[in-house]
Amino acid sequence: MTIHEISPKQLRALLLLLVLVPFIPLVLMLRFMTDALQGERDAARERLSSDTQRTLSSATISVDRHLTTFVGPVSPEEMRRLCLEAFDPTIDISISDAGGGLVAGPAKPPGRLVAQSSIKYLDKPWTTRAWLVDERPLQEEVRDQFKVYAWTGLIAAVAICTIAAAAGLTVNQQLRLHELKNTSVATVAHELRTPLATMRVLVDTLREGRYRNEEQLREYLDLLHSENLRLSRLTEHFLTHSRLARGQYQFTFAPVRADSIANHALNSLQPKLSAPGCSFTLDVEKSLPPVMADRDSLVTVLINLLENALKYTGDEKRITLRARRDDDTLVFIVEDNGVGLTATQRKQIFEPFYQADQKLSRSRSGVGLGLSIVRAIVSAHRGRIEIASEPNRGAAFSVHIPLAQA
């Protein structure tokens, strides 16, 4: 069975779908809750009407008995008062005669009609009506159910949004990984092609004997050696990044002095740092306390930071490597007078294959893995890295590594 890879277009469509889909159950749930609450209100009104009807019927029966035993006429208002005694203040009573004319009670309907009953007065049928003038008891009866629905809906909405957000983050991560893979493949191909093409031209030239003298032969061999070192560095960066990303990089921790780490880093870069146009300053005291670290890894950190400084400075380079103690950590600081970084670049500079200045990256070797490797190694040492930089004002990278316990 062939498994087809999802294209970026499909991933973006899926991401958009994950953003829109949660609204469907939320709308349906809101509609269900609204209908359920309306049903609760209707049921509460029905119960109120039924209870009021029974109470009103009992009250009119009592009034009717009172009228048959009472000597003398009774006013409609007295009849209304006798009916009201059976209800709480949320109910008002009106009485109308056989023709529908109002004889007692409010002139206008004071609320919603909830019950009515007939009573005989002076051999004529009169009608008593019960009006709900205050719906707060009805609302209080529904309020508890509303709280249940509200909390249930809130929890369900949070759960749906959380699941959708998690799925969206996963899809977005896959999209970024897809784009990163394409970028990394293109970058790697470009960086490998350049030295390979140079080496091929030089090898063909030497094979055909197209050189004038021993001096030119030595020059061609030096170029071959330089390009070979460049390929070796690229390959080492790829392997280191891959091992760190998969958690397979082996660290050997032991107490190491700061000057030892700095000197091993400088041994690899001495020709570049001592080249014309480069002013390099080393400020690392031998008296600094040791750190518990993997020496080769921290050497790689300093080499990558120094190479980054060399890459992003102009013709007049001023680079400084310092080390100092800061409480319970040792701080390595690499400063330069290069192009500097914006706030956005400072946030992205440690991402794999990211290069702050694309013009400089095209004119100089590198695939954008150096600082990503630096961050991974520093994190493995339970340290941290800080950047102080402004555009066109250089940059200072500070690496904090915990001191070795005495």
What does DSSP assign to residue 403? B
115-120 long-range contacts (CB < 8 A, ≥24 apart) are 115/49, 115/52, 115/53, 115/55, 115/56, 116/56, 117/53, 117/56, 117/57, 117/59, 117/60, 118/60, 119/60, 119/63, 119/64, 119/79, 119/95, 120/64, 120/67
Q: What is the pLDDT of residue 12?
A: 65
C-beta separation of 331 from 290 below 8 A: no
Q: What is the pLDDT of residue 189?
A: 66
Residue 82's alpha-carbon distances to 58, 64, 75, 85, 89, in angstroms, are 11, 10, 11, 5, 14
Interatomic CA distance for residues 300 and 279, integer angstroms: 21
How many C-beta atoms lie closer than 10 Å to residue 374's C-beta? 24
Domain regions of the chain by residue span: 1-182, 250-402
CA nearest neighbour of 261 among 207, 170, 332 = 332
Beta bridge partners of 92: 131
Element (H, E) at 269: helix 258-273
- Compute mean pLDDT per 10 residues along the chain, 406 residues long, and list them: 51 64 70 74 74 70 58 67 76 81 80 78 74 76 73 77 74 66 61 73 84 84 79 74 75 91 88 89 92 90 90 90 92 93 87 63 60 88 92 92 85
Q: What is the pLDDT of residue 7?
A: 59
C-beta separation of 227 from 195 below 8 A: yes
Which of 3.10.20.600, 3.40.50.280, 3.30.750.24, 3.30.565.10 would CATH assign to domain 250-402? 3.30.565.10
Interatomic CA distance for residues 200 and 231, integer angstroms: 13
Contacts of 384 (CB under 8 A, 6+ apart): 378, 399, 400
Q: What is the pLDDT of residue 388?
A: 92
